[in-house]
Protein backbone atom coordinates (compact mmCIF):
# COMPACT_ATOMS: atom_id res chain seq x y z
CA UNK A 1 0.00 0.00 0.00
CA UNK A 2 1.47 3.40 -0.91
CA UNK A 3 2.46 5.29 2.21
CA UNK A 4 0.15 8.23 1.46
CA UNK A 5 -2.89 6.02 2.00
CA UNK A 6 -1.86 5.12 5.53
CA UNK A 7 -1.02 8.74 6.30
CA UNK A 8 -4.34 9.87 4.87
CA UNK A 9 -6.42 7.31 6.77
CA UNK A 10 -4.75 7.97 10.11
CA UNK A 11 -5.14 11.76 9.86
CA UNK A 12 -8.12 13.49 11.44
CA UNK A 13 -9.31 14.90 8.11
CA UNK A 14 -8.87 11.55 6.34
CA UNK A 15 -10.88 9.75 9.02
CA UNK A 16 -13.63 12.33 8.65
CA UNK A 17 -13.60 11.86 4.88
CA UNK A 18 -14.16 8.13 5.29
CA UNK A 19 -16.87 8.77 7.90
CA UNK A 20 -18.61 11.08 5.48
CA UNK A 21 -18.33 8.73 2.48
CA UNK A 22 -19.51 5.68 4.42
CA UNK A 23 -22.25 7.73 6.08
CA UNK A 24 -23.51 9.06 2.75
CA UNK A 25 -23.41 5.53 1.28
CA UNK A 26 -25.59 4.39 4.17
CA UNK A 27 -27.93 7.30 3.47
CA UNK A 28 -28.10 6.12 -0.15
CA UNK A 29 -29.01 2.65 1.07
CA UNK A 30 -31.71 4.10 3.33
CA UNK A 31 -33.29 5.96 0.40
CA UNK A 32 -33.50 2.75 -1.64
CA UNK A 33 -34.74 0.81 1.39
CA UNK A 34 -37.49 3.35 2.06
CA UNK A 35 -38.61 3.46 -1.57
CA UNK A 36 -38.80 -0.35 -1.52
CA UNK A 37 -40.85 -0.30 1.67
CA UNK A 38 -43.36 2.04 0.01
CA UNK A 39 -44.56 -0.99 -1.99
CA UNK A 40 -46.52 -1.81 1.20
CA UNK A 41 -48.58 1.35 0.57
CA UNK A 42 -48.80 1.03 -3.20
CA UNK A 43 -49.44 -2.73 -3.43
CA UNK A 44 -50.43 -3.85 0.06
CA UNK A 45 -48.90 -6.93 1.64
CA UNK A 46 -48.95 -8.66 -1.73
CA UNK A 47 -47.07 -5.88 -3.46
CA UNK A 48 -44.53 -5.84 -0.62
CA UNK A 49 -44.02 -9.59 -0.94
CA UNK A 50 -43.52 -9.28 -4.69
CA UNK A 51 -40.83 -6.67 -4.09
CA UNK A 52 -39.19 -8.91 -1.48
CA UNK A 53 -39.29 -11.84 -3.87
CA UNK A 54 -37.63 -9.77 -6.58
CA UNK A 55 -34.84 -8.89 -4.16
CA UNK A 56 -34.41 -12.57 -3.26
CA UNK A 57 -34.24 -13.40 -6.97
CA UNK A 58 -31.10 -11.32 -7.22
CA UNK A 59 -29.40 -14.18 -5.38
CA UNK A 60 -25.65 -13.73 -5.35
CA UNK A 61 -25.96 -10.09 -6.27
CA UNK A 62 -28.07 -9.42 -3.18
CA UNK A 63 -25.54 -11.29 -1.05
CA UNK A 64 -22.70 -9.22 -2.47
CA UNK A 65 -24.63 -6.00 -1.81
CA UNK A 66 -25.37 -7.06 1.76
CA UNK A 67 -21.77 -7.96 2.45
CA UNK A 68 -20.70 -4.57 1.06
CA UNK A 69 -23.30 -2.80 3.16
CA UNK A 70 -22.17 -4.67 6.25
CA UNK A 71 -18.56 -3.69 5.58
CA UNK A 72 -19.58 -0.04 5.21
CA UNK A 73 -21.41 -0.21 8.55
CA UNK A 74 -18.42 -1.76 10.26
CA UNK A 75 -16.06 0.90 8.89
CA UNK A 76 -18.45 3.73 9.83
CA UNK A 77 -18.99 2.42 13.34
CA UNK A 78 -15.36 1.54 13.91
CA UNK A 79 -14.20 5.02 12.90
CA UNK A 80 -17.03 6.64 14.89
CA UNK A 81 -15.93 4.87 18.05
CA UNK A 82 -12.29 5.76 17.41
CA UNK A 83 -13.11 9.42 16.77
CA UNK A 84 -15.34 9.57 19.84
CA UNK A 85 -12.59 8.08 22.01
CA UNK A 86 -9.93 10.45 20.65
CA UNK A 87 -12.21 13.43 21.11
CA UNK A 88 -12.90 12.49 24.71
CA UNK A 89 -9.18 12.25 25.28
CA UNK A 90 -8.58 15.66 23.70
CA UNK A 91 -10.30 17.24 26.72
CA UNK A 92 -9.22 15.27 29.73
CA UNK A 93 -10.58 17.70 32.25
CA UNK A 94 -14.05 19.09 31.65
CA UNK A 95 -15.18 22.65 32.20
CA UNK A 96 -16.88 23.10 35.54
CA UNK A 97 -19.21 25.66 34.00
CA UNK A 98 -20.48 24.56 30.62
CA UNK A 99 -22.11 26.83 28.11
CA UNK A 100 -22.74 26.26 24.46
CA UNK A 101 -21.79 29.02 22.07
CA UNK A 102 -25.10 28.48 20.28
CA UNK A 103 -24.02 26.72 17.08
CA UNK A 104 -24.00 23.11 18.24
CA UNK A 105 -27.34 21.30 18.37
CA UNK A 106 -28.78 18.49 20.45
CA UNK A 107 -28.35 16.36 17.33
CA UNK A 108 -24.69 17.30 16.83
CA UNK A 109 -23.86 16.71 20.49
CA UNK A 110 -25.48 13.28 20.62
CA UNK A 111 -24.04 11.70 17.45
CA UNK A 112 -22.28 8.89 19.31
CA UNK A 113 -25.38 8.06 21.35
CA UNK A 114 -27.84 8.23 18.44
CA UNK A 115 -25.38 6.24 16.34
CA UNK A 116 -25.16 3.59 19.02
CA UNK A 117 -28.95 3.37 19.32
CA UNK A 118 -29.19 3.03 15.54
CA UNK A 119 -26.57 0.26 15.69
CA UNK A 120 -28.50 -1.63 18.40
CA UNK A 121 -31.75 -1.11 16.54
CA UNK A 122 -30.12 -2.49 13.42
CA UNK A 123 -29.27 -5.73 15.25
CA UNK A 124 -32.90 -6.06 16.38
CA UNK A 125 -34.11 -5.30 12.87
CA UNK A 126 -31.85 -7.93 11.30
CA UNK A 127 -32.84 -10.55 13.87
CA UNK A 128 -36.51 -9.66 13.26
CA UNK A 129 -36.56 -10.09 9.52
CA UNK A 130 -33.27 -10.83 7.80
CA UNK A 131 -32.11 -13.81 9.85
CA UNK A 132 -35.47 -15.66 9.56
CA UNK A 133 -35.80 -14.96 5.81
CA UNK A 134 -32.23 -16.12 5.30
CA UNK A 135 -33.09 -19.47 6.89
CA UNK A 136 -36.50 -19.68 5.22
CA UNK A 137 -38.38 -19.44 8.51
CA UNK A 138 -40.81 -16.78 7.23
CA UNK A 139 -43.02 -17.54 4.19
CA UNK A 140 -44.95 -14.28 4.21
CA UNK A 141 -42.54 -11.46 5.00
CA UNK A 142 -45.21 -8.76 4.47
CA UNK A 143 -47.48 -10.27 7.11
CA UNK A 144 -44.56 -10.75 9.48
CA UNK A 145 -43.59 -7.08 9.11
CA UNK A 146 -47.13 -5.84 9.71
CA UNK A 147 -47.55 -8.16 12.70
CA UNK A 148 -44.31 -6.95 14.27
CA UNK A 149 -45.02 -3.27 13.66
CA UNK A 150 -48.59 -3.37 14.90
CA UNK A 151 -47.67 -4.83 18.28
CA UNK A 152 -47.20 -1.98 20.76
CA UNK A 153 -43.78 -3.29 21.85
CA UNK A 154 -42.60 -3.76 18.27
CA UNK A 155 -43.86 -0.36 17.17
CA UNK A 156 -42.20 1.32 20.17
CA UNK A 157 -38.83 -0.28 19.45
CA UNK A 158 -39.02 0.74 15.81
CA UNK A 159 -40.13 4.28 16.60
CA UNK A 160 -37.25 4.74 19.07
CA UNK A 161 -34.76 3.41 16.53
CA UNK A 162 -36.15 5.69 13.82
CA UNK A 163 -36.17 8.72 16.12
CA UNK A 164 -32.49 8.12 16.87
CA UNK A 165 -31.82 7.73 13.16
CA UNK A 166 -33.64 10.99 12.41
CA UNK A 167 -31.56 12.88 15.00
CA UNK A 168 -28.38 11.27 13.69
CA UNK A 169 -29.16 12.29 10.12
CA UNK A 170 -30.24 15.80 11.08
CA UNK A 171 -26.61 16.57 11.84
CA UNK A 172 -24.96 13.90 9.70
CA UNK A 173 -25.90 14.73 6.14
CA UNK A 174 -24.94 18.39 6.14
CA UNK A 175 -21.92 17.56 8.29
CA UNK A 176 -20.75 15.09 5.65
CA UNK A 177 -20.83 17.81 2.99
CA UNK A 178 -18.66 20.05 5.16
CA UNK A 179 -16.25 17.18 5.92
CA UNK A 180 -15.84 16.59 2.19
CA UNK A 181 -15.17 20.27 1.64
CA UNK A 182 -18.32 20.72 -0.43
CA UNK A 183 -18.80 24.37 0.33
CA UNK A 184 -19.56 27.16 -2.03
CA UNK A 185 -21.55 30.37 -1.58
CA UNK A 186 -23.94 29.42 -4.40
CA UNK A 187 -24.49 25.83 -3.39
CA UNK A 188 -24.16 25.66 0.39
CA UNK A 189 -27.61 27.02 1.25
CA UNK A 190 -29.19 24.55 -1.19
CA UNK A 191 -27.07 21.67 0.10
CA UNK A 192 -28.02 22.47 3.68
CA UNK A 193 -31.70 22.66 2.78
CA UNK A 194 -31.47 19.43 0.79
CA UNK A 195 -29.70 17.72 3.70
CA UNK A 196 -32.35 18.79 6.21
CA UNK A 197 -35.17 17.80 3.87
CA UNK A 198 -33.66 14.39 3.22
CA UNK A 199 -33.11 13.78 6.95
CA UNK A 200 -36.73 14.66 7.70
CA UNK A 201 -38.08 12.71 4.75
CA UNK A 202 -36.19 9.56 5.80
CA UNK A 203 -37.27 9.86 9.45
CA UNK A 204 -40.92 10.59 8.65
CA UNK A 205 -40.98 8.00 5.86
CA UNK A 206 -39.68 5.17 8.05
CA UNK A 207 -41.75 6.25 11.06
CA UNK A 208 -44.90 6.12 8.93
CA UNK A 209 -44.76 2.29 8.82
CA UNK A 210 -45.15 1.47 12.51
CA UNK A 211 -47.71 4.29 12.80
CA UNK A 212 -49.62 3.00 9.78
CA UNK A 213 -49.54 -0.57 11.11
CA UNK A 214 -50.68 0.51 14.58
CA UNK A 215 -53.54 2.57 13.16
CA UNK A 216 -54.76 0.07 10.58
CA UNK A 217 -54.71 -2.95 12.89
CA UNK A 218 -56.27 -0.79 15.60
CA UNK A 219 -59.03 0.09 13.12
CA UNK A 220 -59.32 -3.54 12.02
CA UNK A 221 -59.76 -4.81 15.60
CA UNK A 222 -62.22 -1.99 16.31
CA UNK A 223 -64.19 -2.98 13.22
CA UNK A 224 -64.14 -6.61 14.35
CA UNK A 225 -65.68 -5.65 17.70
CA UNK B 1 -28.94 59.42 44.41
CA UNK B 2 -29.78 57.50 41.24
CA UNK B 3 -27.44 54.85 39.94
CA UNK B 4 -25.21 56.10 37.16
CA UNK B 5 -23.07 54.15 34.73
CA UNK B 6 -20.02 54.99 36.76
CA UNK B 7 -21.20 53.41 40.00
CA UNK B 8 -18.88 50.59 40.96
CA UNK B 9 -20.02 47.03 40.42
CA UNK B 10 -19.65 44.58 43.25
CA UNK B 11 -19.06 41.11 41.93
CA UNK B 12 -18.46 37.66 43.32
CA UNK B 13 -15.65 36.22 41.24
CA UNK B 14 -14.85 32.51 41.29
CA UNK B 15 -11.41 32.03 39.77
CA UNK B 16 -9.81 28.70 38.97
CA UNK B 17 -6.56 28.23 40.85
CA UNK B 18 -4.15 25.36 40.45
CA UNK B 19 -0.59 25.22 41.73
CA UNK B 20 0.98 23.69 38.65
CA UNK B 21 0.56 21.33 35.70
CA UNK B 22 -1.46 18.21 36.54
CA UNK B 23 -2.17 19.50 40.02
CA UNK B 24 -5.70 19.46 41.35
CA UNK B 25 -7.40 22.84 41.15
CA UNK B 26 -10.52 24.54 42.40
CA UNK B 27 -12.37 27.82 42.31
CA UNK B 28 -11.24 30.51 44.73
CA UNK B 29 -14.01 32.97 45.55
CA UNK B 30 -13.50 36.70 46.12
CA UNK B 31 -15.56 39.86 46.14
CA UNK B 32 -14.36 42.76 44.03
CA UNK B 33 -15.69 46.23 43.41
CA UNK B 34 -14.69 47.81 40.11
CA UNK B 35 -15.81 50.55 37.79
CA UNK B 36 -17.95 49.36 34.86
CA UNK B 37 -15.33 51.01 32.62
CA UNK B 38 -12.57 48.62 33.60
CA UNK B 39 -11.70 45.75 31.31
CA UNK B 40 -11.98 42.17 32.46
CA UNK B 41 -8.20 41.92 32.87
CA UNK B 42 -8.14 45.14 34.88
CA UNK B 43 -10.77 43.62 37.13
CA UNK B 44 -8.41 40.67 37.65
CA UNK B 45 -5.58 43.16 38.33
CA UNK B 46 -7.73 44.76 41.06
CA UNK B 47 -8.49 41.35 42.46
CA UNK B 48 -4.77 40.50 42.56
CA UNK B 49 -3.90 43.82 44.27
CA UNK B 50 -6.53 43.01 46.85
CA UNK B 51 -5.09 39.52 47.32
CA UNK B 52 -1.52 40.76 47.62
CA UNK B 53 -2.55 43.46 50.11
CA UNK B 54 -4.02 40.63 52.17
CA UNK B 55 -0.76 38.67 51.93
CA UNK B 56 -2.02 36.18 49.36
CA UNK B 57 -0.36 35.25 46.09
CA UNK B 58 -1.57 36.80 42.88
CA UNK B 59 -3.61 34.62 40.57
CA UNK B 60 -1.68 33.91 37.36
CA UNK B 61 -3.34 34.82 34.07
CA UNK B 62 -1.96 35.37 30.59
CA UNK B 63 -2.07 38.73 28.79
CA UNK B 64 0.10 40.93 26.66
CA UNK B 65 -1.22 43.54 24.23
CA UNK B 66 -4.54 44.18 25.98
CA UNK B 67 -5.87 45.50 22.69
CA UNK B 68 -7.22 42.39 21.02
CA UNK B 69 -4.33 41.56 18.72
CA UNK B 70 -1.91 39.20 20.47
CA UNK B 71 -4.28 36.42 21.49
CA UNK B 72 -2.71 35.84 24.90
CA UNK B 73 -5.73 36.49 27.12
CA UNK B 74 -7.00 32.94 27.18
CA UNK B 75 -9.83 32.78 29.70
CA UNK B 76 -13.13 30.97 29.80
CA UNK B 77 -15.69 33.22 31.45
CA UNK B 78 -18.98 31.65 32.57
CA UNK B 79 -18.32 28.73 30.23
CA UNK B 80 -17.50 30.86 27.19
CA UNK B 81 -14.00 31.51 25.82
CA UNK B 82 -13.37 35.29 25.94
CA UNK B 83 -16.67 35.72 27.77
CA UNK B 84 -20.21 36.59 26.72
CA UNK B 85 -19.54 39.33 24.17
CA UNK B 86 -19.29 38.33 20.47
CA UNK B 87 -16.13 39.05 18.50
CA UNK B 88 -14.38 40.34 21.60
CA UNK B 89 -11.21 39.16 23.30
CA UNK B 90 -11.11 38.97 27.09
CA UNK B 91 -8.86 42.03 27.23
CA UNK B 92 -11.44 44.04 25.27
CA UNK B 93 -14.34 42.83 27.37
CA UNK B 94 -15.61 45.52 29.68
CA UNK B 95 -17.15 45.03 33.08
CA UNK B 96 -20.22 47.00 31.98
CA UNK B 97 -21.24 43.74 30.26
CA UNK B 98 -21.97 42.44 33.77
CA UNK B 99 -24.52 43.52 36.36
CA UNK B 100 -23.97 44.57 39.93
CA UNK B 101 -24.08 41.49 42.17
CA UNK B 102 -23.26 39.01 39.40
CA UNK B 103 -21.32 35.85 40.15
CA UNK B 104 -18.64 35.23 37.53
CA UNK B 105 -16.76 31.98 36.97
CA UNK B 106 -13.31 32.13 35.38
CA UNK B 107 -11.56 28.99 34.13
CA UNK B 108 -8.53 28.28 31.96
CA UNK B 109 -8.87 26.91 28.42
CA UNK B 110 -9.21 23.16 28.80
CA UNK B 111 -7.66 20.93 26.16
CA UNK B 112 -5.03 18.25 26.10
CA UNK B 113 -3.13 20.35 23.55
CA UNK B 114 -3.16 23.35 25.92
CA UNK B 115 -1.93 22.01 29.28
CA UNK B 116 -2.59 24.27 32.27
CA UNK B 117 0.68 25.67 33.64
CA UNK B 118 -0.74 27.45 36.61
CA UNK B 119 -4.10 28.94 37.63
CA UNK B 120 -5.52 30.43 34.42
CA UNK B 121 -2.34 30.17 32.33
CA UNK B 122 -2.18 27.48 29.68
CA UNK B 123 0.68 26.51 27.39
CA UNK B 124 -0.45 27.43 23.88
CA UNK B 125 2.89 26.62 22.23
CA UNK B 126 1.22 23.75 20.34
CA UNK B 127 -0.07 26.47 17.99
CA UNK B 128 3.48 27.73 17.41
CA UNK B 129 4.59 24.22 16.50
CA UNK B 130 1.68 23.79 14.09
CA UNK B 131 2.57 27.14 12.55
CA UNK B 132 6.20 26.07 12.25
CA UNK B 133 5.10 22.96 10.38
CA UNK B 134 4.29 25.07 7.33
CA UNK B 135 2.22 28.14 8.09
CA UNK B 136 4.61 30.42 6.22
CA UNK B 137 6.23 31.00 2.84
CA UNK B 138 9.73 29.60 3.03
CA UNK B 139 11.45 31.85 0.50
CA UNK B 140 12.19 35.48 1.13
CA UNK B 141 9.50 37.34 -0.80
CA UNK B 142 11.36 40.63 -0.49
CA UNK B 143 9.78 43.93 0.38
CA UNK B 144 6.16 44.72 -0.44
CA UNK B 145 5.68 44.45 -4.22
CA UNK B 146 4.30 47.32 -6.26
CA UNK B 147 0.53 47.45 -6.22
CA UNK B 148 -0.86 45.21 -8.97
CA UNK B 149 2.56 43.70 -9.70
CA UNK B 150 1.20 40.42 -8.33
CA UNK B 151 -2.35 39.99 -9.59
CA UNK B 152 -4.74 38.79 -6.86
CA UNK B 153 -8.47 38.72 -7.54
CA UNK B 154 -10.31 41.03 -5.16
CA UNK B 155 -12.54 38.28 -3.61
CA UNK B 156 -9.47 36.10 -2.95
CA UNK B 157 -7.66 39.04 -1.36
CA UNK B 158 -10.67 39.74 0.85
CA UNK B 159 -10.99 36.13 1.98
CA UNK B 160 -7.28 35.76 2.59
CA UNK B 161 -7.38 38.95 4.63
CA UNK B 162 -10.31 37.66 6.69
CA UNK B 163 -8.41 34.44 7.40
CA UNK B 164 -5.30 36.45 8.27
CA UNK B 165 -7.28 38.15 11.03
CA UNK B 166 -6.73 35.03 13.17
CA UNK B 167 -4.67 35.98 16.23
CA UNK B 168 -3.94 32.40 17.28
CA UNK B 169 -5.73 32.85 20.58
CA UNK B 170 -7.04 29.28 20.79
CA UNK B 171 -10.63 30.17 21.70
CA UNK B 172 -11.76 27.86 18.89
CA UNK B 173 -10.10 24.92 20.65
CA UNK B 174 -11.46 26.02 24.02
CA UNK B 175 -15.03 26.22 22.71
CA UNK B 176 -14.97 23.03 20.65
CA UNK B 177 -16.66 20.06 22.34
CA UNK B 178 -13.88 17.95 20.75
CA UNK B 179 -11.06 20.41 21.53
CA UNK B 180 -10.32 20.47 17.81
CA UNK B 181 -7.95 23.06 16.37
CA UNK B 182 -9.43 22.97 12.88
CA UNK B 183 -10.53 26.61 12.73
CA UNK B 184 -7.06 27.88 13.62
CA UNK B 185 -5.32 25.57 11.16
CA UNK B 186 -7.96 26.32 8.52
CA UNK B 187 -7.37 30.06 8.89
CA UNK B 188 -3.61 29.62 8.46
CA UNK B 189 -3.87 27.21 5.51
CA UNK B 190 -6.62 29.25 3.82
CA UNK B 191 -4.81 32.53 4.02
CA UNK B 192 -1.83 31.23 2.07
CA UNK B 193 -3.81 28.91 -0.23
CA UNK B 194 -5.69 31.94 -1.54
CA UNK B 195 -2.61 33.97 -2.42
CA UNK B 196 -0.03 33.45 -5.19
CA UNK B 197 2.85 33.67 -2.69
CA UNK B 198 1.48 30.63 -0.88
CA UNK B 199 0.74 28.56 -3.97
CA UNK B 200 4.05 26.68 -4.48
CA UNK B 201 3.96 25.08 -1.02
CA UNK B 202 0.22 24.56 -0.91
CA UNK B 203 0.23 20.76 -0.87
CA UNK B 204 3.03 20.28 1.63
CA UNK B 205 1.54 22.95 3.89
CA UNK B 206 -1.90 21.35 4.21
CA UNK B 207 -0.42 17.91 4.84
CA UNK B 208 2.16 18.88 7.39
CA UNK B 209 0.02 21.38 9.31
CA UNK B 210 -2.77 18.80 9.70
CA UNK B 211 -0.19 16.21 10.75
CA UNK B 212 1.24 18.62 13.34
CA UNK B 213 -2.27 19.44 14.58
CA UNK B 214 -3.10 15.75 15.05
CA UNK B 215 0.24 15.16 16.75
CA UNK B 216 -0.50 17.78 19.41
CA UNK B 217 -3.51 15.82 20.68
CA UNK B 218 -6.31 18.08 19.46
CA UNK B 219 -9.61 16.34 18.68
CA UNK B 220 -11.31 15.55 15.39
CA UNK B 221 -13.73 18.13 14.00
CA UNK B 222 -17.33 16.91 13.96
CA UNK B 223 -18.77 20.17 12.61
CA UNK B 224 -20.47 21.57 15.69
CA UNK B 225 -19.24 25.02 14.58
CA UNK B 226 -18.90 26.26 18.18
CA UNK B 227 -15.44 27.54 17.19
CA UNK B 228 -16.76 30.18 14.81
CA UNK B 229 -19.16 31.51 17.44
CA UNK B 230 -16.34 31.79 19.97
CA UNK B 231 -13.76 33.28 17.61
CA UNK B 232 -13.00 36.90 18.53
CA UNK B 233 -12.13 37.56 14.89
CA UNK B 234 -15.28 35.84 13.51
CA UNK B 235 -13.32 33.45 11.27
CA UNK B 236 -16.07 31.50 9.43
CA UNK B 237 -16.18 27.70 9.12
CA UNK B 238 -16.03 28.00 5.33
CA UNK B 239 -12.26 28.03 5.90
CA UNK B 240 -12.55 24.58 7.51
CA UNK B 241 -14.26 23.34 4.35
CA UNK B 242 -11.36 24.81 2.37
CA UNK B 243 -8.83 23.07 4.65
CA UNK B 244 -10.69 19.80 4.05
CA UNK B 245 -10.50 20.40 0.30
CA UNK B 246 -6.82 21.37 0.49
CA UNK B 247 -6.00 18.27 2.49
CA UNK B 248 -8.01 15.98 0.20
CA UNK B 249 -6.46 17.44 -2.90
CA UNK B 250 -2.93 17.31 -1.46
CA UNK B 251 -3.38 13.69 -0.39
CA UNK B 252 -5.21 12.30 -3.41
CA UNK B 253 -4.09 14.52 -6.28
CA UNK B 254 -0.90 16.36 -5.33
CA UNK B 255 -0.06 19.10 -7.79
CA UNK B 256 3.65 18.34 -7.84
C1 LIG C 1 -28.15 3.93 8.87
C2 LIG C 1 -27.22 4.23 9.67
C3 LIG C 1 -26.29 5.43 9.63
C4 LIG C 1 -26.20 6.47 8.75
C5 LIG C 1 -27.03 6.69 7.52
C6 LIG C 1 -25.14 7.33 9.23
C7 LIG C 1 -24.72 8.48 8.60
C8 LIG C 1 -23.74 9.32 9.07
C9 LIG C 1 -23.23 10.47 8.38
C10 LIG C 1 -23.63 10.93 6.99
C11 LIG C 1 -22.34 11.08 9.21
C12 LIG C 1 -21.59 12.38 8.96
C13 LIG C 1 -20.17 12.20 8.64
C14 LIG C 1 -19.44 13.50 8.62
O15 LIG C 1 -19.80 14.44 9.30
O16 LIG C 1 -18.45 13.61 7.95
C17 LIG C 1 -22.29 10.32 10.42
C18 LIG C 1 -21.52 10.64 11.53
C19 LIG C 1 -21.43 9.85 12.66
N20 LIG C 1 -21.95 8.59 12.82
FE21 LIG C 1 -23.27 7.71 11.59
N22 LIG C 1 -24.61 6.83 10.37
C23 LIG C 1 -25.29 5.65 10.65
C24 LIG C 1 -25.06 4.78 11.68
C25 LIG C 1 -24.17 5.00 12.69
C26 LIG C 1 -23.89 4.04 13.72
C27 LIG C 1 -24.48 2.65 13.83
C28 LIG C 1 -23.00 4.63 14.54
C29 LIG C 1 -22.51 3.92 15.78
C30 LIG C 1 -21.56 4.14 16.52
C31 LIG C 1 -22.72 5.98 14.04
C32 LIG C 1 -21.92 6.92 14.62
C33 LIG C 1 -21.60 8.15 14.07
C34 LIG C 1 -20.88 9.17 14.76
C35 LIG C 1 -20.32 9.11 16.18
C36 LIG C 1 -20.75 10.23 13.87
C37 LIG C 1 -20.11 11.54 14.28
C38 LIG C 1 -19.12 12.09 13.47
C39 LIG C 1 -19.59 13.45 13.07
O40 LIG C 1 -20.35 14.09 13.81
O41 LIG C 1 -19.23 13.89 12.02
N42 LIG C 1 -23.44 6.15 12.89
N43 LIG C 1 -23.15 9.24 10.32
S1 LIG D 1 -9.53 31.00 14.54
FE2 LIG D 1 -10.35 32.61 15.90
S3 LIG D 1 -10.58 31.55 17.87
FE4 LIG D 1 -9.21 30.27 16.65
S5 LIG D 1 -7.15 30.96 17.16
FE6 LIG D 1 -7.76 32.17 15.36
S7 LIG D 1 -8.66 34.05 16.23
FE8 LIG D 1 -8.56 32.57 17.92
S1 LIG E 1 -4.15 40.52 25.70
FE2 LIG E 1 -3.62 40.53 23.55
S3 LIG E 1 -5.48 39.88 22.66
FE4 LIG E 1 -6.05 40.06 24.72
Per-domain residue ranges for chain A? 3-224
Q: Is any atom of ligand 3 closer than 6 Å to the C-beta of B81? A: no
Rounded to whole angstroms, how far apart are CA atoms A176 and A172?
6
Q: Is any atom of ligand 2 closer than 6 Å to the C-beta of B183? A: yes
Which helix (H) or strand (E) element contains residue B14?
strand B9-18
Q: Pick from A11, A92, A179: which is nearest to B211 by CB? A: A11
Could you tell me the residue range of the domain that residue B50 belongs to? 9-117
More confidently predicted of A2 and A103? A103
Query: What is chain B's pLDDT, residue by residue, as a tens digit (256 residues)?
Result: 454 557 899 999 999 999 999 999 999 999 999 999 999 999 999 999 999 999 999 999 999 999 999 999 999 999 999 999 999 999 999 999 999 999 999 999 999 999 999 999 999 999 999 999 999 999 887 888 888 888 899 999 999 999 999 999 999 999 999 999 999 999 999 999 999 999 999 999 999 999 999 999 999 999 999 999 999 999 999 999 999 999 999 999 988 6
Tell whether B108 is covered by a domain: yes
User: Under a CB-based contact definition with an 8 Å cutoff, are residues B15 and B47 in contact?
Assistant: yes
Does one domain contain both B111 and B49? yes
User: Under a CB-based contact definition with an 8 Å cutoff, are residues B131 and B188 in contact?
Assistant: yes
pLDDT at A219 over 80: no
Does one domain contain both B113 and B128? no
Q: How close B45 comes to chain A (CA, Å)? A: 23
User: Under a CB-based contact definition with an 8 Å cutoff, are residues B201 and B137 in contact?
Assistant: yes
- Coil, helix or strand at residue B29: strand
SS percent in chain A: helix, strand, coil, step 5: 85, 0, 15
The residues near B220 (Cβ < 8 Å, ≥ 6 apart) are A12, A15, A16, A83, A86, A87, B178, B180
- Per-residue pLDDT tens digits for A183-200: 999 999 999 999 999 999
User: Under a CB-based contact definition with an 8 Å cutoff, are residues A115 and A80 in contact?
Assistant: yes
Q: How close A185 comes to chain B (CA, Å)? A: 9
Does one domain contain both B162 and B210? yes
| Per-residue model confidence (pLDDT) at position B1 | 45
Does one domain contain both B104 and B169? no
How far, in Å, from the CA of A62 to the mean position of ligand 1?
24
Buried (b) or exposed (e) across B196-215, using 16+ Cβ within 10 A? eebeebbbebbbbbbbbbbe
The average confidence (pLDDT) of chain A is: 95
Q: Pick from A86, A95, A179: which is nearest to B79 by CB? A: A95
Fold (topology level) of A3-224:
3 helical TM bundles of succinate and fumarate reductases (1.20.1300)
Question: Whole-angstrom distance between the N-terminal and C-terminal Cα of chain B?
Answer: 74
- The residue nearest atom 1 of ligand 3, judged by CA position, is B66
Interface pTM (ipTM) of the complex? 0.93
Does the beta-carbon distance from B79 to A11 stay under 8 Å? no
Q: Beta B9-18 vs B103-108: how paired, if at all?
A: parallel
Q: How close A214 comes to chain B (CA, Å)? A: 37
Does one domain contain both B133 and B94? no
Does the beta-carbon distance from A91 to B107 stay under 8 Å? no
- The residue nearest atom 28 of ligand 1, judged by CA position, is A115
- Decide: pTM greater than 0.90: yes
How far, in Å, from the CA of A9 to the mean position of ligand 1?
17
Which helix (H) or strand (E) element contains residue B208?
helix B202-215
SS percent in chain B: helix, strand, coil, step 5: 40, 15, 45
Amino acid sequence: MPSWIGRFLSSSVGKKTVMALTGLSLVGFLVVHLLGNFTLYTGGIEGFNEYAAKLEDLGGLLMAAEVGLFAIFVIHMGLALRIARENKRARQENYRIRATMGNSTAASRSMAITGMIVGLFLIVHIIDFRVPTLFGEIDNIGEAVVARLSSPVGATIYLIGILALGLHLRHAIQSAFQSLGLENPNWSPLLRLGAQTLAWALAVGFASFPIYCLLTTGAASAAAN
Amino acid sequence: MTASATDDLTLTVHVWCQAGPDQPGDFVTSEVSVSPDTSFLEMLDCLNEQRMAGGQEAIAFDHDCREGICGACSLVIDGKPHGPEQETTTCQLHMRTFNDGDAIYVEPFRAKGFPVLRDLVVDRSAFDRIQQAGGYVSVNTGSAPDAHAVPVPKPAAEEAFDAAACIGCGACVAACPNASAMLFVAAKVSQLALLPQGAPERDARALSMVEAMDGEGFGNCTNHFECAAACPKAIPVTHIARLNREFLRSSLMPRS
